[in-house]
Amino acid sequence: MGGQACVFYGAAEFSRDTDFAILADADNLERLRRAIAELQAGVIAVPPFAAEYLNRGHAVHFRCAHPEARGLRVDLMARMRGVSPFPELWERRATLQGEDGSVYQLLSLPDLVAAKKTQRDKDWPMIRKLVEADYAASDQSSDPVRIRFWLSEARTPELLAELKARFPAQYAATAEVRKALRAELGASIEEALAAEERAERQADKVYWEPLRRELEDLRRKSNRPGKFGTLT
């Protein structure tokens, strides 16, 4: 669900870690504990690996010590702002198979874009790349679902102008729910897109504020000897 997924979708991003969206129920968490143990991974920050934190929207961070994955960071999340619950994500997932036969389950492209709408500066250029890479890879598709995705998530006036010329009816329909598309193409829509981004960044900041305070409290508690252990 992170940088590695962006690579699979053709919007290459250098990533030092691997991010996973997970189902945080008891059976799956037990399987995850076994997998983490195989990787000889330990929690490297707060919060600890527990369903209560995952289900509140926290990420749990691990560092691997297994010789074949030494130093790799693995981040787990079960809930994200603006992103559907895991069962819906799983139903919409994209499945890819590597040349060695390995199977990769990815967030669908629209869900990955939704997950990238954060406060982080690096995520917004990546959203643009993901949408543009999908559009460039299309075969002049007339698939209404794909067209609606492009119109809902395109981040530049240039691409929106091209989409408007190609799909005027769909553009008008999408403008009913996406305010930025109601602006005149050019400088006006550029400012509308910037305002849209600012609103999402602010919403993400508001969402994370109570979680951030909780992490600060956990960090203070974790300084007490023996408070949190690590999985090995």
How confident is the model over 203-220, as pLDDT tens digits? 999 999 999 999 999 999
- pLDDT for residue 231: 35
173 pLDDT higher than 60: yes
What is the overall mean pLDDT for the chain? 92
Q: What is the DSSP code string of 15-26? A: -SEEEEE---SH
Please give the DSSP secondary-structure letter assigned to residue 2.
-
Average pLDDT over every residue of 118-143: 91
- pLDDT number for residue 225: 52
Q: Please provide the DSSP assignment of 30-84 as one string.
A: HHHHHHHHHTTEEE-SSSPS-HHHHTTT-EEEEEE-STTSTT-EEEEES--TT--
Say what the pLDDT of residue 185 is.
80
**pTM for this model (two decimals):** 0.90
The predicted pLDDT at position 221 comes to: 84
Query: Kind and range of the H or E element at 6?
Result: helix 3-8
HSE-CB at 37 with a 13 A cutoff on CA atoms is 6
What pLDDT is recorded for position 3?
A: 85
Report the chain's terminal Cα–Cα distance, integer Å. Answer: 25
User: Looking at residues 35-64, what average pLDDT do you find?
Assistant: 95
Token readout for 133 is: 């890479």
- Grouping H, G, I as helix, E, B as strand and the rest as coil, residue 228 is coil
The predicted model gives 198-203 an average pLDDT of: 98
